[in-house]
Amino acid sequence: MLIDQISIFAENKPGTLAEITAMLAEASIDIEAFTIADTSEFGILRLIVDAPKKALAVLKLGGWVATLTPVIAVKMDDQPGSLSKILKMFAEAGVSIEYLYAFVAREAGYAYVIFRVEDAPKAVAILEASGVVTAASLA
């Protein structure tokens, strides 16, 4: 199962993040996960939200360059070895990971890891074949 991540181009200048989050707040969009890849000149914001299509429309209307990126969200036990186990599976199958980020889930004892991989359908098939659950949402 793949979920939509919002990716946004942001210049490195004061106020950019405040502006984007204010816009999403006004549209009552809940940000569930948020990370930034930054270079010396610009950043790429990566967000998981409760209503990605609506968020994309709001951002585009506001003049931002944004896209939906399919990513895999894996819910795993929040304990040593969980992530390692999955990465090992990917490594053995030759699945190349572009980036990932992780955070603790609302439900105690669990964590979510968001994977952006080169070949998403293949990665999902590998996970499902080994009984790993890919989340349809982070709610």
List residues binding another protein (CB under 8 A).
5, 7, 9-11, 16, 37, 39, 41-42, 44, 46, 63-67, 69, 98-99, 116
Closer to another protein by Cβ: residue 86 or 116: 116
Closer to another protein by Cβ: residue 82 or 114: 114
The C-alpha torsion from 100 through 54 and 104 to 79, rounded to 10°, is: -60
**CB neighbour list of residue 1: distance below 8 Å, 6 or more residues apart:** 72, 73, 124, 134, 135, 136
Of the candidates 81, 69, 80, 79, the residue with the CA atom closest to the CA atom of residue 114: 69
Closer to another protein by Cβ: residue 64 or 112: 64
CB of 29 to another protein, least distance (A): 18
DSSP 8-state assignment for residue 51: -
CB of 11 to another protein, least distance (A): 5
Number of H helices, E strands in the chain: 4, 6
CB of 116 to another protein, least distance (A): 7
CB of 110 to another protein, least distance (A): 25
Closer to another protein by Cβ: residue 68 or 83: 68
d(C-alpha 137, C-alpha 5), whole Å: 11
